[in-house]
Structure 1
Amino acid sequence: MGYNSRVPVVKPLLNSRQRKKRLTWAMEKKHRTVAEWSKVLFSDESKCSFGSQGARGWRKAGEEQNPSCLKSSVKFPQSVMVWGAMSAAGVGPLCFIKSRVNAAVYQEILEHYMLPSAEKLYGDEDFIFQHDLAPAHSAKTTSNWCTDHGITDLDWPANSPDLNPIENLWGIVKKKLKDTRPNNANELKAAIEASWASIKPEQCHRLIASMPRRIDAVIRAKGFPTKY
């Protein structure tokens, strides 16, 4: 009948209130141009782990227990949390996060990594800063920090990674990590930095240019998750 067994695509669970807010946000932003989106500094944290998740390999029948065909598992795999920012002009410096991100830690990240990212990508030009609604991001003290530093925030709907083009950059980084074999956290960090540094400004510009299409997709989906 044309059906095939497939692993379901994982998307954030959205309640009716969140879907309505996503739709309202998209309707408000639907007339923004690519040039206007180019003034937005997008940011996000991501977790990167050891190993090549989902990797496939070639083998003959009966070779499934051959050592060269096995994939080793780790009971407690190590991972690193990293923060980054991007604009249409490229990417900013990475921050490897060593502790739980509360408001104070997040403001340190903004001070030492977001501001240098803005300086690198915008110089003296004005920009708008995007971050999601994680508790540390939406804390009152973080809002005060942004106000004190003259940072304009972009209002953002909850549970909307499909609207953030930096998610695609994290996907590129993690795809490249599948070809590496780091033996410890320092080697993993080095591999992440190398992958991040290889991202070209042209890639970032193409992702920023997709914002009108992302917004249109949210409108057509009536606030539900989209393909992005």
Structure 2
Amino acid sequence: MNSTIEGKIISVQRTIKELNLKPFKLKKAQKLTTSNKQQRVSCAKKLIRKFGARKNDHKWQWDKIVNIDISGIFTIEGFHNSKNDVIYAEESSEIPADLREASIVKYPSGVMFWGAITTKGLISQDGPINFTQWLRDQCPLDKRKRMYMIGDLYAKFLREEAISTINEVVENLNEVIFQDDQDSKHRTKTAMDVVNDFFEERIEPNDGDAKFADVWPIENIWGIMDEKTRGKTFENIDSLVDFINSEWRKITPEQCKAMIDNIPKRLAKVIQFNGNQVYEH
């Protein structure tokens, strides 16, 4: 290495040490345009006005929220960091052939889950619904093609699975406020009709869809599950599902209530930060 460059590296390392600085990885966040930020602020103000800012506010209704979502894909393969795929040698020719390649599965097997959070705890209480398996079960036996979620399927899932599961926990659907994400399939007429049939009140799409992944607590839950599975490799899908269910059951109703109660605070932060991402939990 060039002695000048090496000296600069040592100087930087010494300065970092003297200042007692610590390295922090950049956090992944949703991409926000200027328009997104403006919409976030506008929607945050509407939601606070409608459902209250503090518990002693006569408008306070956050304890009625049922916040639902379908997760991203959890895979049986652990997180792969390509920066760790390094072997030190003077020449590449010295490296044995069987050590030269870092084999990874391009499309590892995985599962999407459906779940919800209320002040009474997570739904369902034993673990999230295996949405991937439910989709597979909708495929006719004489066909083997992959099933994709469309508006009609989502409406069927709500009617046949999700709503009854929600009712087991909240006991009275008329006393809750329904909220799901901004996926266009959730906004089809068939899906909206099902929600309107079973729930007297919902957070309207125009009020709750302003890229609020950093506001709704169900996203926190999926984030917790993601952290728990990070770096782990599972033998098969069943062991992955069992692990998720086990970690899911560790989250208490008290934790869920705290997350729900924190929604207006996060909305206030959205306003304070002019629509920028909120990181505080």
- Give the TM-score taking structure 1 as reference length: 0.82
In the TM superposition, 1:1-228 aligns within 5 A as 7-30=25-48, 31-34=52-55, 36-46=61-71, 47-53=73-79, 73-93=104-124, 94-97=128-131, 98=135, 99-124=147-172, 126-155=175-204, 156-178=208-230, 181-228=233-280
Once the two structures are TM-superposed, the CA of residue 211 in structure 1 deviates from its matched residue by 1.0
1:108–1:172 Cα change, 3 Å = same
Secondary structure of 1:199's match?
coil
Secondary structure of 1:83's match?
strand
Once the two structures are TM-superposed, the CA of residue 179 in structure 1 deviates from its matched residue by 7.5
1:162–1:72 Cα change, 3 Å = same
1:25–1:41 Cα change, 3 Å = same
Once the two structures are TM-superposed, the CA of residue 74 in structure 1 deviates from its matched residue by 2.5
1:167–1:180 Cα change, 3 Å = same
Which is worse superposed, 207-216 or 95-104? 95-104
1:12–1:90 Cα change, 3 Å = same
Partners of 1:149 and 1:16 lie apart in 2 by 36
Contact 1:82 1:96 in 2 (8 A): yes
Q: How many corresponding residue pairs? A: 218
Measured on the aligned residues, the alpha-carbon RMSD in Å equals 2.9
- In terms of fraction of residues, the more helix-rich structure is 2
Contact 2:66 2:118 in 1 (8 A): yes
Instruction: Report which of the two structures shows the higher radius of gyration computed on alpha carbons.
Output: 2
Partners of 2:216 and 2:160 lie apart in 1 by 22
Once the two structures are TM-superposed, the CA of residue 174 in structure 1 deviates from its matched residue by 2.5
Percent of aligned pairs sharing the same letter:
24
Once the two structures are TM-superposed, the CA of residue 90 in structure 1 deviates from its matched residue by 0.4
| Contiguous gaps of at least 5 residues in structure 2 | 1-14, 82-87, 89-94, 96-101, 136-146
Partners of 2:22 and 2:214 lie apart in 1 by 26
Once the two structures are TM-superposed, the CA of residue 52 in structure 1 deviates from its matched residue by 3.5
| Contiguous gaps of at least 5 residues in structure 1 | 56-61, 66-70
Once the two structures are TM-superposed, the CA of residue 86 in structure 1 deviates from its matched residue by 1.0
Amino acid at match of 1:29: L
Partners of 2:37 and 2:246 lie apart in 1 by 37
Once the two structures are TM-superposed, the CA of residue 89 in structure 1 deviates from its matched residue by 0.8
Which is worse superposed, 91-100 or 163-172? 91-100
- Give the TM-score taking structure 2 as reference length: 0.68
Partners of 1:17 and 1:178 lie apart in 2 by 33
Once the two structures are TM-superposed, the CA of residue 95 in structure 1 deviates from its matched residue by 2.1
